[in-house]
Every structure is written in C-alpha cells, then in structure tokens.
Amino acid sequence: MRNLNQDTITQAVIARLATTPDPRLKEILTSLVQHLHAFAREVKLTEEEWMQGIQFLTATGHKCDDKRQEFILLSDTLGLSMLTVAMNNDKPAGCTEPTVFGPFFLEDAPRFKLGEDVAGGASGEPCLVHGTIKSLDGKPVPNALINVWQADADGNYDVQYAHLAKPQARGILNADENGNFYFKTILAEAYPIPTDGPVGAMLKATKNHPWRPAHLHFMIDAPGYEKLITHVFRDEDQYLESDVVFGVRSSLVADWKKKPDGTYDLEYDFVLNPVKQTAKA
Ligand code: BEZ
Ligand code: FE
C-alpha cells in the first residue's frame, strides 16, 4: 500500500478493515469510511476546514463531563438521535410514539406515591398530570413503572443547578392495578438547550434557535411490554414546528388545560407495545 492517491485511498482503508473479526464492527467501520471519504470529496474539504472540524470535535469532547454530554447534544441537533429512535422503534399504529431521550435523565430519581408532588420545590405553575397506561388492545396495563422529568419555569433541569440539595421536578412512581396514574408537578415551559458550548456556536453560525417546545418526559416500563421513552408536548407552543432536536410528533401534543383556580391539568393516556412472544421450543 504505497503511492495512494485520492482515487485509491478509500479502497485501501476499507481493505485494511477486512481483518476485523466482529462482522458488525467491520460493517459499521467500512460504511463510515466510505461515507466520510465521499463527504470530503463532495465538499472538496480543504486542510483548514479539516482542522476546524478537528477543533470543533475536540471542543465538543472538552465540554463533556459527568453532567454535560455535548456529543449527545450534537447528535440531537444534527437529527441523528431522532433518526436512530425512529429507525429502532417501529411500533404498530395505536401505540404511543417514542421520541428523544435527552441528556437530563437521572437513574436514581426520588420515589413517589400516586397523587404526590414530584416538583420538590421547583419553580412553576402547579399542574396535575393523570391518565391510564394501556396495552394495544385497549386493556389497562397494571402497575407500570413511570419515570417523569422536566425543566422548571426558568427552563433548567435540576442537574443544571450547581448546588441543589435534592432532585427536583423528577420522580418515579407506579401506576395502580387499573393502569391509572396521577401526580402533581409544575407546568412544562419551552426552554433552550445549553448554548455555551460548540453546539451553541453551531446553532448561531447556522442562524438556528436553541429552543425545545414545552414538554414533560416519560419513561414507562412494564413486564411484557417494550419500554417507552417519550414526551408529552404542550399544544400551541411556538416551537412545535421548529424543535431544535426534531423530536415533536403530533400524537404527543396535548391540551394542558388551565383551570378556573389558575392551576393546570394534563390528561394523557399511553399505549404500550406488547413484546412479541417467541414460540416455545
Ligand atoms: C431534553 O428534552 O431534555 C433534551 C433533549 C435533547 C437535547 C437537550 C435536551
Ligand atoms: Fe427536556
């Protein structure tokens, strides 16, 4: 492998991957090289631009720590996260649609009983959230495990505050035996994703805003069903058509009703996809 030129280098790199024992790794790396080289050829990448790309990715890595994942943010804003969700969650019609996970989930959120307030002191208008978890055939799914998380009225998740004593605006609860759930929280508001890193610079350079429409995150798990990771969005939010991470599905937009006493009410039912039964041997 000598004297490689712009016409022969791609095949030379691919040939070197031929020894990869893991067939899936081989497939992914081969395709990556093909597309990466094709991209460089298509845009006639200059050496200065190559260096800028390296610096951008380096800065993206430097921005990451145990609380901040700038690479996920980059994937989100380039639509790769939503593409991956869409490709891997092809559910039958009638199931609740999934959307992006986002970077603000916490594994060990506080536990709550039905009816309790998950806000934990987070700022925002009071809101009651309730509904039923159902199977595709319309029957209730009993006792599903529900994780919820959201930003406060200032557009921040608890993990974005440096010195909070305990988690806020997130929690874990179980639906009852009839699939019903209800809890208090705060009204979801639109918020900008973090813009103080390379992703923010990219959005600025492309004249795109950093806003996500108001939403409440749900992760719902029940034995015998596919895990559902989704949001419920607020109707009439100005960013529904231009979500910075491309996550909006019409079926996930709901009417968060304002009640006469000024508090809000969200009713939303979720439909889970039963795991396919494999034939017994
Ligand atoms: C979120 O909804 O929490 C989120 C999703 C993608 C990027 C940033 C935030
Ligand atoms: Fe969010």
CATH number at residue 189: 2.60.130.10
Ligand 2: centre distance to CA 122 (Å)? 15
> Are 104 and 16 part of one and the same domain?
no
Please state whether beta strands 126-135 and 264-267 pair in parallel, antiparallel, or not at all (unpaired). Answer: parallel
Closest to 175 measured CA to CA, from 108, 130, 118: 130
64, 76, 196, 215: residue to mutate for ligand 1 pocket, most atoms within 8 A of CB = 76
Residue 260, classed as helix, strand or coil, is coil
Give the model's pLDDT for residue 279.
62
Let me know if residue 265 belongs to a domain. yes
Let me know if residue 53 belongs to a domain. no
> Are 117 and 29 part of one and the same domain?
no
> Are 33 and 131 part of one and the same domain?
no
Strands, DSSP E only, in the chain?
A: 126-135, 145-149, 170-174, 180-186, 191-192, 211-212, 215-221, 228-234, 253-254, 257-258, 264-267, 270-272
Let me know if residue 55 belongs to a domain. no
> Are 193 and 267 part of one and the same domain?
yes
Contact 254, 99 (CB under 8 A): no
> Are 40 and 82 part of one and the same domain?
no
Contact 271, 139 (CB under 8 A): no
Give the model's pLDDT for residue 150.
97
> Are 101 and 235 part of one and the same domain?
yes
> Are 17 and 111 part of one and the same domain?
no
Ligand 1: centre distance to CA 194 (Å)? 9
pLDDT means per 10 residues, the chain with 281 residues, are 92 97 98 98 98 98 90 96 93 95 92 98 96 97 98 94 92 98 97 96 98 98 97 96 97 97 97 82 46
* Contacts (Cβ under 8 Å, ≥6 apart) of 9: 37
Give the model's pLDDT for residue 281.
46
Of all protein residues, the one whose alpha carbon is nearest to atom 7 of ligand 1 is 102
Structural domain span for residue 108: 70-280
Q: Could you give the angle at the alpha carbon of 63 between the alpha carbons of 57 and 65, nearest 5°?
A: 125
How far is Cα 123 from Cα 155, in angstroms, rounded to an integer?
Answer: 10
Structural domain count of the chain? 2
> Are 31 and 159 part of one and the same domain?
no
Let me know if residue 145 belongs to a domain. yes
